[in-house]
């Protein structure tokens, strides 16, 4: 390591310390976008981009733990992503399965609770089984809750909630905002404080529409495979400058 590298390391530690003096968002939600474009810029395949993206996903879990974030929601596969070529979809499902297997010990060691948000029935059986097993095994863990939004679409989530409210025979008088929250995949999870989207896209792409009513948004041009602690700190520093008014003055 030369003296320049040293300087960079000290700098990062100092930034972490200073961020920890401010308010840390309790729940961060991330639209992890730009794997394909990251790969294209390097003449790599989209799959290689996704593979690099899984490294960033592991890192953001570790870094969120370090910073004391309590809920981290990662948009992993949308209900619209089935429109992609079947080879890409299959590879994504395969990589997810392999990652869950290889990260199992890390999740247990760090007492990470894992939850899936989304319609599990369309996922490959072996992936579903692995998910069920990790969800159950980690259900009592409290260091951080990591939610993977998988085959997730917010409009579909709301439609399902309405159907279930009707089939449960809930009377009109009992329907309020809190009750609707209870019928979403995010029941028992506080709304995101900070929503991050990478890759320079400024849209929500059917993610947590009900839950982000008062979230702070942070958009960065960084492609997801390049997203590391420095980018996360950039987002949190920006969050710490915001004044949340919730409609008041």
CA distances from 126 to 108, 116, 123, 133, 176 (A): 20, 15, 8, 11, 38
- Does 193 contact Mg ion by CB under 5 A? no
Q: For the sheet with 112-117, list strands across it.
A: 112-117, 144-152, 71-78, 27-31, 194-197, 216-219
By the 8 A CB rule, do 28 and 239 touch? no
CB of 70 to Mg ion, least distance (A): 27
Q: HSE-up of 204 (CA within 13 Å, CB side)?
A: 15
215's contact among Mg ion, ligand IPE, none, with CB below 5 to 8 A by partner kind, is none
| Minimum distance of Mg ion from residue 204's CB (angstroms) | 13
Shortest distance, CB of residue 37 to Mg ion, whole angstroms?
8
- The answer to whether 138 and 167 have CB atoms below 8 angstroms apart is no
Cα 175 to Cα 206: distance, rounded to the nearest angstrom: 24
Give the DSSP letter string of 89-150: HHHHHHHHHHHHHHHHHHHHHTTEEEEEES-GGGS-HHHHHHHHHHHHHTTT--SEEEEEEE
Residue among 179, 185, 181, 98 at smallest CA distance from 147: 185
Binding of ligand IPE by 31 (CB under 6 A): yes
**Interaction between residue 56 and ligand IPE (CB under 6 A):** no
- 201 is a site residue for ligand IPE (CB under 6 A): yes
54 binds, among Mg ion, ligand IPE, none (CB under 5 to 8 A by kind): none
What is the nearest approach in angstroms of Mg ion to the Cβ of residue 176? 36
Q: Is 188 a catalytic residue?
A: no
- Directed axis angle between helix 46-67 and helix 3-21, to 10°? 60
Residue whose pair of structure tokens reads 């989207």 in the numeric block: 197
Of 16-75, which residues contact Mg ion (CB under 5 A)?
A: 33
Does 229 interact with ligand IPE (rule: CB under 6 A)? Answer: no
Report the nearest approach of Mg ion to the CB of residue 87 (Å).
Answer: 17
25 is in the binding site of which of Mg ion, ligand IPE, none (Cβ under 5 to 8 A by kind)?
A: none
The answer to whether residues 78 and 207 touch, using CB atoms and an 8 Å cutoff, is yes
Give yes or no: 99 in active site. Answer: no
Question: Could you say which of 81, 110, 143, 206 is catalytic?
Answer: 81
Question: Which residue among 19, 24, 32, 72 contacts ligand IPE (CB under 6 A)?
Answer: 32
Interaction of residue 33 with ligand IPE, rule CB under 6 A: yes
Give the residue with the Cβ less far from ligand IPE, 67 or 148.
148
Residue of 5, 33, 151, 188 with catalytic role: 33
Footprint of ligand IPE on this chain (CB under 6 A)? Answer: 31-37, 75-78, 81, 92, 199, 201, 203, 205
Residues that are catalytic: 33, 81
Footprint of Mg ion on this chain (CB under 5 A)? Answer: 33
């Amino acid at each position: 390591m030369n003296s320049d590298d040293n300087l960079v390391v000290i700098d990062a530690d100092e930034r972490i310390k200073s961020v920890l003096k401010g308010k840390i968002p309790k729940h961060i939600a991330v639209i992890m976008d730009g794997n394909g474009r990251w790969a294209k810029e390097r003449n790599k395949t989209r799959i290689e981009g996704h593979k690099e993206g899984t490294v960033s996903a592991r890192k953001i879990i570790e870094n969120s733990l370090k910073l004391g974030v309590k809920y981290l929601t990662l948009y992993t596969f949308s209900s619209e992503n089935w429109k992609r070529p079947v080879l890409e979809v299959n590879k994504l499902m395969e990589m997810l399965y392999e990652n869950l297997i290889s990260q199992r010990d890390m999740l247990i060691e760090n007492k990470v609770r894992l939850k899936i948000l989304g319609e599990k029935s369309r996922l490959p059986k072996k992936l579903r089984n692995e998910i069920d097993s990790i969800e159950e095994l980690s259900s009592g863990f409290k260091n951080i809750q990591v939610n993977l939004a998988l085959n997730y679409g917010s409009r579909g989530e709301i439609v399902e909630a309405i159907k279930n409210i009707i089939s449960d025979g809930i009377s009109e008088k009992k329907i309020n905002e809190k009750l609707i929250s209870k019928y979403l995949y995010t029941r028992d999870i506080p709304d995101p404080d900070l929503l991050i989207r990478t890759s320079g896209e400024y849209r929500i792409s059917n993610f947590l529409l009900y839950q982000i009513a008062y979230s702070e948004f942070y958009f960065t041009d960084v492609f997801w495979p390049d997203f590391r602690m420095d980018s996360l700190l950039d987002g949190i520093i920006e969050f710490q400058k915001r004044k949340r008014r919730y409609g008041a003055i």
